[in-house]
Structure 1
Amino acid sequence: MELKGIHHVSAITANAKNNYQFYTDVLGMRLVKKTINQDDPSVYHLFYADEIGNPGTDLTFFEIPNAGNTYPGFSSISGTSLRVPDDRALEYWEKRLDEHQVDHDGISEQYDRKVIHFRDPEKQRLTLISDETNTGVPGGQPWKDSSVPADKGIIGLGPSKLTVQNPEPTIHVLTNVLTFKKTSSYPSPIEGQEDIQVYTTGEGGTGAEIHLEIRNDLTRERPGRGSVHHVAFRVENEAELAEWRKKLQSERLPNSGLVDRYYFKSLYFREPNGILFELATDGPGFATDEDPEFLGESLALPPFFEDRRKEIENNLNPLNTKRPH
């Protein structure tokens, strides 16, 4: 029962159409699933990933049209990383972000890796991170029809950054409940703040890290558009997920129980600082109900929503995701 790394990250957008344009046209990621928020079928849930939506490559967005601005603070998932193959790819990305007038900080170094910190149009806090020295969890396959060259393309999710005021309860969950181990730390870019701690699971590397930031100069985050809803960690299969549920119960951590998301099975819980974690199975995957060639082009509904398709489609704003073939 060792978590294999990061499975996906789910964030919030106020506008699915603009979100789709940015993540596919500018970042060159593939929309592998256009579906609904299963907890609110009146809005979209969009999944961007590699060529076939391998676990560990999915950045997803719930559309919440009336979401206000995010006020950053603690008790949050305050940063999401996107992996690129090597340092040379970052040189390409620096120019590309400039061409598309994306707000970014240029190439810098973080934890002995080259990175570019940048923001999407809703101020989602993102980082492109080089896999130049990665020896851990391998990346995925860049989308073959991307506007970004394959040798420069995004190949998966990198470390998620958590920001907390009181680190001990979060550390307890990461190390004593889950299977993360503290492996290193690096200086905070904020003067006067503690070093950022690095926690690793599974094979390690960029696809299996949590970076824990301790901040005593902030208030609690007020989430909205541009904030992260939850981070999910990879579990091998449903049998193992059931064992994880028993473990959470033995630790007296309230949890959702097993939830069928159709493309994977899930288990949700909040660690004591209020950050939402999900454990998710690697399969069955996004080709379960669509031809891999046409992923994301039509509205996909899990079978348990199919009888409501007409009602659901009538309530959604049109979003054309058809691609030329």
Structure 2
Amino acid sequence: MDRKALKGIHHVSAITGSAKKNYDFYTKVLGLRLVKKTVNQDDVSVYHLFYADERGNPGTDLTFFEFPIAGSTYHGTNSITLTSLRVQNDKALAYWKTRFVELKVDHDEISTRTGRATLSFRDPEGQRLALVSDEHNSGVAGGKPWDKSPIPVEHAIYGLGPVQLTVSRPEITARVLTDILGFKETRSFPSTTSGQSEIRVFETGEGGTGAEILLEERADLKRERQGRGSVHHVAFRVEDQDELYKWVDLLNQLSIPNSGFVERYYFRSLYFREPNGILFELATDGPGFEGDEDFEHLGEKLSLPPYFEDKREMIEARLQPLETKE
């Protein structure tokens, strides 16, 4: 059964201890648009917030589950250790560096990583992030910045960039990426981590910053313990529902434990863990976020998929109010 190549990064989902503080940082400091305020469909007692470009185009979503009782992250291996965010050019990085200084955002100096200007920084909970310049990039297109963002459009974040995996046994993760998911290993670049020599780059689809996984070996660390400021999973783009079912069939044929088809309303999903324990999701490009809110009012109300509407009163009673209408 022929399957189309995965199109790139679909979204990254992380953990926050405070929806309010998280909302303030990602919308008011980073200028992303909250395109959907909903709940974790596997635990409806907590928020699931989606930040993205103007309408949540696939490949632009950085999402957060709010777990108020989450402890601190204990950094380690077998984890997702960096989420990159795309900006149009090197000039935008200079803008962001000045902004981070003014707003006292924890950040590093602008550096070059695999030929691209990069600015690493952390959110208030220690989430490991980097802005990456697309000035010399080619490959999968980014999204479209929201013109009502506090950030000028020419400097705005407009998509997800490379996602870094740090693992203790890199070859087995590499085989999943290449032999099962169809990524191609294209190059490597020096790691700044003590005792390690290189980070390997894997690309899918049209390639480029929106379609890369970076793989680093760290056998000297304990397994990361997730908490506030850690990443829960990374999702890859699938064209549509028919393609997703082909991936379900493949994983079943290979006897790889997986979730099977999962209805998420805003997209359809499939989940499985690679052998080092990192959670992968395959997610369809559609239907998108405008099925229950129009474009002008995305993210303003608590949105629930139709199959949760009969529980709305109970769900709303268990959530702390979060004002997202400016």
1:93 — aligned with what? 96
Mapped partners of 2:49, 2:182: distance in 1 = 29
1:35 — aligned with what? 38
From 124, 142, 163, the counterpart of 2:166: 163
Deviation at 1:252, TM superposition (A): 1.4
Mapped partners of 2:103, 2:146: distance in 1 = 20
Mapped partners of 2:198, 2:56: distance in 1 = 34
1:261 — aligned with what? 264
State how 1:128-147 maps to structure 2 within 5 Å: 128-147=131-150
Deviation at 1:250, TM superposition (A): 1.5
State how 1:200-215 maps to structure 2 within 5 Å: 200-215=203-218
From 196, 201, 215, the counterpart of 1:198: 201
1:18 — aligned with what? 21
Which deviations, in whole Å up to 9, do the C-alpha atoms of 1:191-246 show, x marking residues without a partner? Answer: 32030000000000000000001112211101101000000000000000000001
From 151, 155, 162, the counterpart of 1:152: 155
Q: Amino acid of the residue matched to residue 42 of structure 1?
A: S
Q: Residue 214 of structure 2 aligns to a residue in which SS?
A: strand
Could you tell me which runs of 5 or more consecutive residues in structure 2 were left unpaired when the two chains were aligned.
none
Q: Residue 199 of structure 1 aligns to a residue in which SS?
A: strand
Contact 1:117 1:126 in 2 (8 A): yes
Could you tell me which runs of 5 or more consecutive residues in structure 1 were left unpaired when the two chains were aligned.
none
Q: Amino acid of the residue matched to residue 163 of structure 1?
A: T
Give the TM-score taking structure 2 as reference length.
Answer: 0.98
Deviation at 1:163, TM superposition (A): 0.2
1:225 — aligned with what? 228
Contact 1:194 1:214 in 2 (8 A): no
Root-mean-square deviation over aligned CA pairs: 0.6
Mapped partners of 2:22, 2:195: distance in 1 = 36
Mapped partners of 1:77, 1:237: distance in 2 = 26
Q: Amino acid of the residue matched to residue 312 of structure 2?
A: R
Q: Amino acid of the residue matched to residue 151 of structure 1?
A: E
Percent identity over the alignment is 66
Give the TM-score taking structure 1 as reference length.
Answer: 0.99
Q: Amino acid of the residue matched to residue 246 of structure 2?
A: E
From 167, 178, 181, the counterpart of 2:181: 178
2:58 — aligned with what? 55
1:303 — aligned with what? 306
1:67 — aligned with what? 70
Which deviations, in whole Å up to 9, do the C-alpha atoms of 1:81-100 show, x marking residues without a partner? Answer: 00001000000000001111
Q: Residue 153 of structure 2 aligns to a residue in which SS?
A: coil
1:320 — aligned with what? 323
Contact 1:5 1:202 in 2 (8 A): yes
Q: Residue 155 of structure 2 aligns to a residue in which SS?
A: coil
| Off by >3 Å, runs of 4+ in structure 1 | none
Does 1:76 find its partner at 2:114? no
Deviation at 1:319, TM superposition (A): 0.2
Q: Residue 18 of structure 1 aligns to a residue in which SS?
A: helix
Deviation at 1:288, TM superposition (A): 1.1
Deviation at 1:272, TM superposition (A): 0.4
Which deviations, in whole Å up to 9, do the C-alpha atoms of 1:71-113 show, x marking residues without a partner? Answer: 1111101100000010000000000011110000020110000
Which deviations, in whole Å up to 9, do the C-alpha atoms of 1:3-59 show, x marking residues without a partner? Answer: 000000000000000000000000000000000000111110000000010000000
Mapped partners of 1:242, 1:141: distance in 2 = 29
Give the number of equivalent residue pairs. 323
